[in-house]
Homo-oligomer: A and B are copies of this chain.
């Protein structure tokens, strides 16, 4: 249904100059969710943005605005009057307004802050103090606060009086006089409570999980996943409640972190833009440096081969198995690396598990290596018709390389974590390069020993 509405909307936009269509445009827009409308806005030429934006009711306009990319937000702001800008900023949730201030160039920021009302401006400035990727940087200060000695009736009255501006009222946070967080109570519990005289202290859950303003956003979003919360309170060093992180932000963080890990594990530099929004230069910047770096690292494998050129010249068939062996090592290595990286990302594996990891990887690598060696030995003798000693060399190398690769693959991400380097950069491409050199060294030395060359 919303797909047809989007189509209708796009057709109408094609003839936006026809003034009589404005009312129908507004009607269509009201049936669409803000993220869909935002997608339509992204495709509009900058000069048409304010026209369409003015047609939206105030709260929908703010919702759409929060969903736009920074480029489109800036284009839109440039086309709005000060009064219109003020309306948008006042309607935005303060965490979205802060994100906006963080993304815009200085001149636009000045205009935004000049239009924001003093309370909003204070909250924005407060939030700007925290690092962007900390709990303080992603939280909102618009939460619902209750006192422990309120009755259910008083609490519901407080919510009715103040709830409208809050980002969520599904969870309300209980604080004592100096704003220390002492509990949480859900709107559900308040609504379902049969005795209106009961106090919040009776009803609240005093074992409330909170994070500090400095907690990393990734750790915060993992708590959402683990405990199934809809919001998590954020406290300062004195345990005073200063904000909450809501689940919609947590989901974005989880997805962004997963995308980031994907990119790093495939030798791509960071980018927070969707594929088609990236310019050629963006794509180039994110790919070329890694390719150059990995190419230079591959120098070692060339050096090893050149060092054993005479051995290769003596038994030229050895060359034929170089790609197979290095690939097997690379694949085995990235299997363990990626398992460990993902395990650490979702919290199943901790750095102090290293000895257990190596012991497991060692055993599974022996099993895998043996399987590969046996399969390959048969194939070499029957199909490739190489001599038994050469087959032996290839298969012994295969076993050693799988073992070494999976051990290195298990070790590297843990080592990276301990050295405070992001484990994901240690993944597939880098391990492939490291494993290549190891594999070739093992290969040529086994060949020299077995074939006596």
Spell out A's residues near B (CB within 8 Å): 2, 30-33, 35, 156, 159-160, 163-164, 168-170, 187-188, 191-192, 194, 207, 209, 224-228, 230, 247-248, 250-252, 254-255, 258-259, 261-263, 265-268, 274-276, 280, 283-284, 287-288, 290-292, 294-296, 298-299, 301-303, 305-306, 309, 312-313, 316-317, 319-324, 326-328, 330-332, 334-335, 337-343, 346, 348-349, 353, 356-357, 360, 363-364, 367-368, 371-372, 375-376, 379, 384, 398, 402, 428-429, 432-433, 436, 440
Q: Which of B191, B226, B349 contacts A276 (CB 8 A)?
A: B349
Rounded to whole Å, the gap between the CB of A417 and the closest CB of chain B is 14
Check B302–A306 contact: CB distance below 8 A.
no
Q: Which of B226, B263, B339 contacts A342 (CB 8 A)?
A: B263
Q: A263-B338, A288-B368 are in contact. Are A326 and B328 (CB under 8 A)?
A: no
Q: A255-B225, A342-B259 are in contact. Are A371 and B292 (CB under 8 A)?
A: yes
The 10 closest A-B pairs by CB, nearest first: A266-B338, A298-B324, A274-B348, A301-B323, A228-B248, A305-B320, A258-B258, A275-B343, A283-B364, A302-B320
Chain B CB within 10 Å, residue with most, of A250, A259, A287, A298 = A287
Cβ-closest chain B residue relative to A324: B298
Check A312–B319 contact: CB distance below 8 A.
yes
A316: B residues at CB distance < 8 A: 309, 312-313
- How many Å lie between the Cα of A163 and that of B313 in the bound state? 80
Cβ-closest chain B residue relative to A312: B319
Q: A323-B298, A327-B436, A331-B294 are in contact. Are A287 and B368 (CB under 8 A)?
A: yes
Check B335–A287 contact: CB distance below 8 A.
yes
A342: B residues at CB distance < 8 A: 259, 262-263
As for how many copies of this chain the complex holds, the number is 2
Chain B CB within 10 Å, residue with most, of A170, A341, A357 = A170
Q: A170-B188, A305-B323 are in contact. Are A360 and B295 (CB under 8 A)?
A: no
Check B276–A356 contact: CB distance below 8 A.
yes
- How many Å lie between the Cα of A292 and that of B367 in the bound state? 12
A187: B residues at CB distance < 8 A: 170, 187-188, 191
Cβ-closest chain B residue relative to A326: B323
Rounded to whole Å, the gap between the CB of A340 and the closest CB of chain B is 7
- How many Å lie between the Cα of A188 and that of B228 in the bound state? 20
Rounded to whole Å, the gap between the CB of A110 and the closest CB of chain B is 30
Q: Which of B191, B276, B331, B372 contacts A160 (CB 8 A)?
A: B191
Check B322–A35 contact: CB distance below 8 A.
no
Check B283–A360 contact: CB distance below 8 A.
yes
A327: B residues at CB distance < 8 A: 294-295, 298, 301, 326, 429, 432-433, 436
A376: B residues at CB distance < 8 A: 295
Rounded to whole Å, the gap between the CB of A85 and the closest CB of chain B is 24
A2: B residues at CB distance < 8 A: 207, 209
Q: Which of B247, B268, B294 contacts A338 (CB 8 A)?
A: B268
Cβ-closest chain B residue relative to A398: B295
